[in-house]
């Protein structure tokens, strides 16, 4: 039997240090006022991101601004149209009839109801002016299916195009391009194209 005893080191005793009155006063002055914590939950404060600016849609300006005299003549199926703004040279209309300006864009409104036709027309003309198109073709049909043999869309176009602020001239297309069922329209140059293409040089 092993009678040897394991050596046990004596436990270390910690002597309590007393704090003087002066040291306690210095500590309180350094720490300041102490508040009791009601909750030990950690709250991370995050700043709200700045609101994303919402782009306002551009204001729509009605382009049908020109005044047209009352009593505009009613057009029938085979009637031709012609118009030129005051002050523009008359040979411009002659060149337009002959197709000398070339067609930069076209649109077919044939078969559309009045409201849809006007919406498509105004959007088309706006885009053409913004993209520098000067001569465009509009197909409207002759209106043989219209009640009373009076083509609705054809007469509407005769009014709308006269009212449109960007239309300089229009006329019925030659037979090869639709005749009395289509139009050639000459548009005003937008400001960003006006310097390179002066209307007086038409």
Domain that holds residue 93: 82-201
Mean pLDDT of 78-87: 94
CATH code, domain carrying 87: 3.30.1370.110
Residue 145 lies in a domain: yes
Query: Do the Cβ atoms of 88 and 202 come closer than 8 Å?
Result: yes
pLDDT digit string, tens, across residues 17-40: 566 677 666 666 666 666 666 666
Which of 84, 159, 151 minimizes the C-alpha distance to 121?
159
Q: Alpha helices, DSSP H only, in 32-113?
A: 91-97
Residue 69 lies in a domain: no
pLDDT digit string, tens, across residues 36-71: 666 666 666 666 666 666 655 555 678 998 888 877
Q: Cα–Cα distances in Å, from 163 out to 6, 14, 33, 66, 160?
A: 116, 103, 80, 4, 5
Residue 74 lies in a domain: no
Query: Do the Cβ atoms of 110 and 182 come closer than 8 Å?
Result: no
pTM exceeds cut of 0.75: no
Residue 65 lies in a domain: no
Number of domains in the chain: 1
Residue 73 lies in a domain: no
Residue 12 lies in a domain: no
Q: Is 58 helix (H, G, I), strand (E, B) or coil?
A: coil
- Cα 80 from Cα 11, distance rounded (Å): 120
Most confident of the following: 7-11, 13-17, 61-65, 121-125? 121-125
Burial of 199 (0-12, 13-18, 19+ CB in 10 A): middle
Residue 38 lies in a domain: no
Query: Do the Cβ atoms of 80 and 172 come closer than 8 Å?
Result: yes
Residue 189 lies in a domain: yes
């Amino acid at each position: 039997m092993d009678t040897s005893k394991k050596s046990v080191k004596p436990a270390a005793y910690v002597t309590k240090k007393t704090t003087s009155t002066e040291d306690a006063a210095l500590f309180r002055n350094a720490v300041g006022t102490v508040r009791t914590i009601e909750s030990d939950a950690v709250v991370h404060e995050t700043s709200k991101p700045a609101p994303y600016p919402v782009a306002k849609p551009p204001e729509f300006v009605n382009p049908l601004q020109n005044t047209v005299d009352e009593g505009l003549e009613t057009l029938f199926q085979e009637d031709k149209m012609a118009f030129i703004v005051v002050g523009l040279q008359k040979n411009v209309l002659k060149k337009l009839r002959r197709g000398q300006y070339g067609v930069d864009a076209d649109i077919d409104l044939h078969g559309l109801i009045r409201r849809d036709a006007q919406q498509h027309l105004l959007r088309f003309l706006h885009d053409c002016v913004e993209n520098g198109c000067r001569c465009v073709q509009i197909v409207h049909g002759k209106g043989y299916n219209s009640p009373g043999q009076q083509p609705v869309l054809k007469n509407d176009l005769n009014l709308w195009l006269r009212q449109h602020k960007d239309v300089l001239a229009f006329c019925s297309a030659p037979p090869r391009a639709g005749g009395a069922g289509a139009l050639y329209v000459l548009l005003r140059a937008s400001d960003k194209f006006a310097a390179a293409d002066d209307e007086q040089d038409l």
